[in-house]
Amino acid sequence: MEISSGSIQASSLQYEMLLLTDSISKEDSCWELRLRCALSLFLMAVNIKTPVVVENITLMCLRILQKLIKPPAPTSKKNKDTPVDSLTTVKPYSNEIHAQAQLWLKRDPKASYEVWKKCLLARGLEANGKSPSRTELRHLYLTEKYAWKWKQFMNKRGKRTCPLDLKLGHNNWLRQVLFTPATQAARQAACTIVEALATIPSRKQQVLDLLTSYLDELCVAGECAAEYLALYQKLIKPARWKVYLAARGVLPYVGNLITKEIARLLALEEATLSTDLQQGYALKSITGLLSSFVEVESIKRHFKSRLVGTVLNGYLCLRKLVVQRTKLIDETQDMLLEMLEDMTTGTESETKAFMAVCIETAKRYSLDDYRTPVFIFERLCSIIYPEENEVTEFFVTLEKDPQQEDFLQGRMPGNPYSSNEPGIGPLMRDIKNKICQDCDLVALLEDDSGMELLVNNKIISLDLPVAEVYKKVWCPTNEGEPMRIIYRMRGLLGDATEEFIESLDSTTDEEEDEEEVYKMAGVMAQCGGLGCMLNRLTGIKDFKQGRHLLTVLLKLFSYCVKVKVNRQQLVKMEMNTLNVMLGTLNLALVAEQESKDSGGAAVAE
| All structural domains of the chain | 173-384 (1.25.10), 395-501 (3.10.20), 515-592 (no CATH)
| Of 319, 305, 450, 448, residue with least CA distance to 372 | 319
Alpha-carbon gap, residue 113 to 254, rounded angstroms = 42
Residue predicted with more confidence, 72 or 546: 546
What is the reported pLDDT for 553?
92
Whether residue 475 contacts residue 396, with contact meaning beta carbons closer than 8 Å, is answered with: no
Confidence of residue 78 (pLDDT cuts 50, 70, 90): low
Residues 396-422 have pLDDT tens digits of 999 888 888 878 888 888 888 988 888
Task: Please give, one letter per residue, the 3-state secondary structure of 88-146.
Answer: CCECCCCCCCCCCHHHHHCCCHHHCHHHHHHCCCECCCCCCCCCCCHHHHHHHHHHHHH
Radius of gyration from C-alpha coordinates of the chain: 37
Residues 209-265 have pLDDT tens digits of 999 999 999 988 889 999 999 999 999 999 999 999 999 999 999 999 999 999 999
Of 89-93, 204-208, 249-253, 449-453, the range with the lowest mean pLDDT is 89-93
Confidence of residue 600 (pLDDT cuts 50, 70, 90): low
What is the reported pLDDT for 7?
46
CA angle 328, 334, 339 (to 5 degrees): 125
* 475-to-382, 400, 482 alpha-carbon distances in Å: 22, 21, 10
Of 272-276, 340-344, 374-378, the range with the lowest mean pLDDT is 272-276
Residue predicted with more confidence, 503 or 596: 503
Q: With a cut of 80, say whether residue 564 has pLDDT above it.
A: yes
Confidence of residue 331 (pLDDT cuts 50, 70, 90): very high
What is the reported pLDDT for 119?
67
Which of helix, strand or coil describes residue 395?
strand
Mean pLDDT of 374-384: 90
Parallel/antiparallel/unpaired status of strands 395-400 and 499-501: unpaired
Alpha-carbon gap, residue 349 to 30, rounded angstroms = 70
Residues of the chain with pLDDT > 70, as a percent, come to 84
Alpha-carbon gap, residue 93 to 121, rounded angstroms = 10
What is the reported pLDDT for 6?
47
* 174-to-46, 53, 57, 190, 254 alpha-carbon distances in Å: 9, 16, 15, 7, 21
Helices 297-319 and 281-294, interaxial angle, to 10°? Answer: 150
C-alpha torsion sign, points 543, 545, 546, 551 = positive
Q: With a cut of 90, say whether residue 127 has pLDDT above it.
A: no
- pTM score of the predicted model: 0.68
Mean pLDDT of 147-162: 69
Mean pLDDT of 337-361: 87
User: Residues of 461-494 as b/e, b for ≥16 C-beta within 10 angstroms?
Assistant: bbebebbbbbbbbbbeeeeeebbbbbbbbeeeee
pLDDT, the chain, mean:
81
Give yes or no for a cis peptide into 426 (omega within 30° of 0). yes
Task: For the sheet with 458-460, list strands across it.
Answer: 417-418, 395-400, 483-489, 451-455, 458-460, 499-501
Q: With a cut of 80, say whether residue 11 has pLDDT above it.
A: no
Of 88-102, 468-482, 512-526, the range with the lowest mean pLDDT is 88-102
Q: With a cut of 50, say whether residue 425 has pLDDT above it.
A: yes
Alpha-carbon gap, residue 209 to 213, rounded angstroms = 6
Confidence of residue 423 (pLDDT cuts 50, 70, 90): confident
Tell me how crowded residue 153 is: count the other CB atoms within 10 A of its CB: 11
Of 96-110, 141-155, 512-526, the range with the lowest mean pLDDT is 96-110
